[in-house]
Every structure is written in structure tokens, then in C-alpha cells.
A and B are shown apart, each in its own frame.
Chain A
Amino acid sequence: MNTSNKYGLRDGPPVRASDALVNEAHPELGIASKLLGIFPSSLANYLIALTAIFSINFILPRLMPGDPLQAIYGQEALVVMSDEVEAQIIRQFSLDKSWWDQMLAYVLGLLQGDLGFSYYYREQVFHVILGALPWTLLLTGLALVLATAIGLVLGIESGYARGSNLDRSLVAGLMFLGGFPDFFIGILLLLIFAVSLQVLPISGAASPYAGHEGLAHIVDVLKHLALPLSSMILVRLGGIFLLTRNTIVTLLGESFILTARAKGCQERRIKYAHAGRNGLLPVATATGLRIPQLFTGALFIEIVFSYPGVGSLLNTAIDARDYPLIQGILLIVTLTVLTANFLVDLLYSRLDPRVRYAH
């Protein structure tokens, strides 16, 4: 709010109460952002958030009653662990030393990319997650792009034709759809298309041992992707659509739209180049804010479809009580989310010159 008022411009268009927080930039610029200049002031927040995650990961197992070794690795792991391995872990985490030394060992381990050892997969946690992450990124990346694109177009069309039958049915339909929890939409699609109609594969990301090559492999992967991807898009569409539509509705009363009309712009140009361009701003912010939800949604969807991404990994880790793996997943997902948020912030300053000049 301060940025727009400072330059005598109208307020940005936050439309719902939940988006009001978008509009209100930081009144106090952090020291970090002043130093870094080109970076969004949110960088400091991300660093604080990251530190918080590190601390939770470090403190939580050590707060649990009993042996920290048991808390870090879980009871089941200790049974299968030999004394030798146990001694090695104690040495590695400095568990026999003070908290200060333990923290030092923990931070040093993290800096070397050491997230611990998954006793369930009998492999380094880092490698286990690295194997699953591409599938999750594929799913979330495509869902983000497609849901935003479809939501924007539908929102612009609907907002422009406010009150028409198209608008009414879109608002009602998408709002209803957005009310469903992600995993139930996934389950419904699974039951309809994979269980009843049997037109699409029920689980996995590619047919095992099929030995598809080239194009056949891509088609196979896309077939497996279709249901998880559509469920993620369906759930996400409503929010983006409503936000765009409401922004467009408020923008249509602005004088620059009147000017565009008066100078005889084509209908489509007014819709997309004038109203749509401005409608992008709140959508970009909201997209950034919803990236955590995007990832958690993907976790649930992956479990429903046994899609071999990070979500299924997390499910296995919880069932097996493989704590180092759970912690590693948390860390990697947080890092991914924070990075994505940061990129959206950078994108936002490209989309809205006012934000850039304000710094």
C-alpha cells in the first residue's frame, strides 16, 4: 500500500480479505534488503524461515523423552542397528558431547549435503530424495503453469462478461470444485477413470518393465501423469479464477479502460492487453503465496495415485517411522518452496514497475 500511495497512484487491486495481506508491503525495509538492493525485501523472511526449519529439525528429536539416538533414528531402526553403526552415529552427531557441539556437527553435516542415513532404504537420505524430487517437480510445475494459464483466461473472460450465463456458471462451478479437498478430487478421478472406466493407469509414473523407448515412453509418462495432474489443476483453478475475475471486475471501472474504449481498441486487446495485464499482478502474488499449498497438495495427490514423488516417499517414511528421511524431505521441500517464492518475488518486480522503483 505504501508503494502506491508514495507515488500518488491508486491502490493495487486486492480483492478478497485473504489477499489484503498481499497488498501491504513491508513498511520497514530490512537491513538485508537495503544491502542487497536488487533483491526483494522478503529475502530476510526466507532466511528466518529456513533457520526456523533447521532449528525444528535439530531441537525436536533432542526434546523427545529418552535417548536422542532413539529419537533421531526411531526405535525400529535401533533394533536392526549393530553396535558399531550405533557408535559411528553417536560420533558423527557428537551425541555424547554438549548441545553446542551437537549443533556444530549438525550444521557442518548439512553444509556438506549430509541429511543423514535412511535406514528403510539403506541409502543416504539425500540420494533417496533426489530420486523422487524430479517427479514431484514435474507434477507441481505443470500444475502451476496450466492452472494459472487456464484460470487467467477463464477469469478474464468471466470478469469481462460479468453477470452473463457463462460468468455465473463458471463462478458457481469452480467455487464448488475448489471446496473439495485435493485428495478427494484425486480419489474421485481415480475411481472414475482408472477403476470404473479403466482408461487410464491406476498408479505409478511409468509402466514398469515395459521397456518403452522415445515417444512411446513419453506417451506412457503423460498417461500416468494425466490423472494426478488434472486433479491438481481442478483444485487450484478455482482460486486463480476467482481472483482474476474479481480483479477484472474492479478494473473495468477504471479510466484507462474507458480511454482504451474511446480510442477504439479492439475488444480482445482491451480484455487481454489492458485489463488482463493489470490482472496479472494480484495473480502473481497469490500464486507465490500459494506455492506451499501447491506442494502439500502434490504430496496428497501423489499418495492417492502412488506417484513415485516426494509425497509417496513421505508416506513410506511416516509408515516406517524413518525419521531422518522425514526430516530430509521437510528440509528439501522447504528449500524448494522458499526458492520458488523468491523467484515469484523477482518476477513480481518485473511485472509491476512500481515495486521495482520503490526500493
Chain B
Amino acid sequence: MHIDALGELYQDPLARAGAIMLVIIAGLAIFAPLISGYSPHDYTGKIFSPPDIDHPLGTDSVGQDIWARLLFGARTSLLVALSVALISSSLSVIVGASAALAGGLYESFCMRIIDAMISLPTIIVMILVASYLRPSLPLLILLISLFSWPGGARIIRSQVLSLKQRMHINAARTFGAGKGHIIFTHIIPDLSPIICALMMQDARRAVFMEAGLAFLGISDPTVISWGKMMNQALAFTYLDVWQWWLVPIGLALSATLIGISFLSFSLETAMDPRLRREESMGAARLT
């Protein structure tokens, strides 16, 4: 049963493509100040200037360099993705695993809450909460995490429930292993591919939500966000500026999302023994 799902990712061209996309975007985000000649907040003196050597993507309606803003926007997206993935998946593991291990009334209670939260239209609840709180970036990260853990907790719980019954864990128990020992040496390592898959789903949702909320006009005014920029650009579709303003930013956002999707799709396929039989598919999915 032990499949090295994470190790198989290196073999899958789809996963490689996703990873390359994300590495490029992360590189652009990290080295943003070196790559762009302008600060994303500075007024360059020209409004709606078309792309030239000085401004690879021209300038926007308030005279800011779009290329610089695109690069710094990547920082926001990736920061949100990473933080939400960490916080939300930790919550999923804590609640899901503890429910499965403790059982009883506590488990029923947790599952009730999880089921109820899953049936809520999360984004709309978040829009309401965010429109009241007008959250700063850290608060937004916390808010997205608080609404994204239940699905993962459910999956973790069912995994832990089935792991509890596995032979090797029963064997460990007969050898007199304690609860803590079983959790840390047997259950958590076996969960790691699933936790990775959850983190990727969380990250994808977080990038989308941050951009979506900003697109709706709910964002920290000091933060540079792709969603906010797209919202601003959408008002000027009657000019030609969308070609170097709206479309590149949309593509950057989509590339981030698609990169994460590819990685997580490939990981889920590797984890599912029923889909593993069709190895020939791996090469085809990329093209």
C-alpha cells in the first residue's frame, strides 16, 4: 500500500510543467525590485502609455508602471497562497485527526460543524465578513484559512479512520507502541501525500479568493493585488489599454492557478491506485 506519491511527481510531465510555471512566477516575485526599473507606487509622468523599452507593459490610468505592479502583485498572491495553505491544512489535520482518534461525542460534534460549513457558500460569507472588517492582508489570510479547512478535515478524518485499522498499525500496537508513537511514526508520515494535496487545493483557493475579493473591491488599499488591478482595468475596455493591462495580469493570475492545479492533479492521480493503471496517459496530458 505504500506508494511514494510525492516521489512520482518528479516523473510526471504534468507536475513538472506546473512546477516550472510556479518556479518562474516565484522567481519573478522574489526578484521583483531587480527586474523592474520602477517602484509599483511611483507616478511615472505618463498615463496610458503603450508598451515601450522603458515600460514593458506600458502605464495605467494613474501613470504607474504596469510591469512593476504585475511583479509586486505576484508577491501578494504567493504570500497569501503559502500562508493560507499552511494555516488551513494545519487546522484540517488538527481537527480531522483528533476527531478520528478521539471519537465519541467530540467526533460527532466536529463532523456536524464541518458538514454545516461545507454546505455554506463560503465565498459569499467571506464577502460579507470582509466588507464589514475591511481586512488588512494578515487578517485576510486568517479569514480565508478559517473558511477553507473543513473539506480537508473531513478527508483527513476518513484517512486516519482507515489508517487506524491497517495491519502495520495493529502490529505496532501489539508490540506495545503508545498513542503518541503511533501518531508520529506511522499515521503522520502516511498522511503526508494527502496533506500536500490539501495544501495545494488550499493554496489555489486562496489565490483565487484574494484576487476575487480584490476584484470585488474588498482589499487592503496599500496592497498591490492582481484582482484589484483587473477591476481597475475593466473600466477601460473601450481603449486599447486592455491589451497590455488587463490581459497580461489575467494571464499571470491564470498561470499561477493552472500551475497549482497541474501539480495537485498529478499528485491526486499518483495517490489513486485505480487511476495508476493508465501510465500511458501521463505523457499525453501535457500536450
By CB atoms of chain B within 10 A, which of A45, A48, A299 has the most?
A45
Main secondary structure of the interface of A (DSSP, over half): helix
Interface residues of A (CB under 8 A from B): 1, 15-18, 20-21, 24, 26, 28, 42, 44-46, 48-49, 52-53, 56-57, 60-61, 64, 71, 162-163, 167-169, 171-172, 175-176, 178-181, 183-184, 187-188, 190-191, 195, 202, 246, 249-250, 289, 292-293, 295-296, 299-300, 303-304, 314-315, 318-319, 321, 323, 326-327, 329-330, 333-334, 337-338, 341
- Which among B123, B129, B194 is the interface contact of A60 at CB below 8 angstroms? B129
Contact B246 A191 (CB under 8 A): yes
Smallest Cβ-Cβ distance to B254: which chain A residue: A180
Contact partners of B218 in chain A: CB under 8 A:
318
Q: A21-B158, A24-B158 are contacts. A15–B275 as well, Cβ < 8 Å?
A: yes
Main secondary structure of the interface of B (DSSP, over half): helix
- Which among A18, A292, A321, A341 is the interface contact of B122 at CB below 8 angstroms? A292
Contact partners of B274 in chain A: CB under 8 A:
15, 249-250
Q: A28-B108, A52-B120, A179-B254 are contacts. A60–B230 as well, Cβ < 8 Å?
A: no
Complex Cα spacing A18 to B261, Å: 13
Residue pairs across A and B with Cβ atoms less than 8 A apart, 22 shown, are A18-B151, A28-B108, A44-B112, A45-B112, A48-B113, A52-B116, A52-B120, A56-B128, A60-B128, A168-B285, A172-B284, A180-B257, A183-B230, A184-B253, A289-B118, A295-B121, A296-B122, A296-B124, A315-B216, A315-B217, A326-B127, A333-B124
Q: A315-B216, A330-B124 are contacts. A17–B155 as well, Cβ < 8 Å?
A: yes
Q: A175-B285, A195-B237, A249-B275 are contacts. A21–B151 as well, Cβ < 8 Å?
A: yes
Contact A330 B254 (CB under 8 A): no
Contact partners of B108 in chain A: CB under 8 A:
28
- Which among A60, A168, A178 is the interface contact of B284 at CB below 8 angstroms? A168
Nearest Cβ on chain B to A227's Cβ, whole angstroms: 13
- Which among A48, A184, A319 is the interface contact of B230 at CB below 8 angstroms? A184
Of the candidate stretches B52-60, B180-188, B264-272, the one touching chain A is: B264-272
Complex Cα spacing A338 to B254, Å: 30
Nearest Cβ on chain B to A348's Cβ, whole angstroms: 14
Q: How large is the interface on B (under 10, 10 to 19, 20 to 34, 35 or more residues)?
A: 35 or more
The answer, yes or no, to whether B125 is at the interface (CB within 8 Å) is: yes
Complex Cα spacing A16 to B258, Å: 18
Contact partners of A249 in chain B: CB under 8 A:
274-275, 278
Given contacts A46-B116, A60-B129, 4 further A-B contacts (CB under 8 A): A16-B268, A163-B278, A179-B257, A318-B216
Complex Cα spacing A187 to B178, Å: 57
Contact partners of B121 in chain A: CB under 8 A:
292, 295-296, 333-334, 337
The answer, yes or no, to whether B48 is at the interface (CB within 8 Å) is: no
- Which among B112, B201, B265, B272 is the interface contact of A175 at CB below 8 angstroms? B265
Contact partners of B40 in chain A: CB under 8 A:
none
Q: A24-B158, A246-B275 are contacts. A56–B217 as well, Cβ < 8 Å?
A: no
Complex Cα spacing A17 to B117, Å: 19
Complex Cα spacing A195 to B265, Å: 34
Contact B250 A187 (CB under 8 A): yes
Contact partners of B275 in chain A: CB under 8 A:
15, 246, 249-250
Contact A49 B254 (CB under 8 A): no
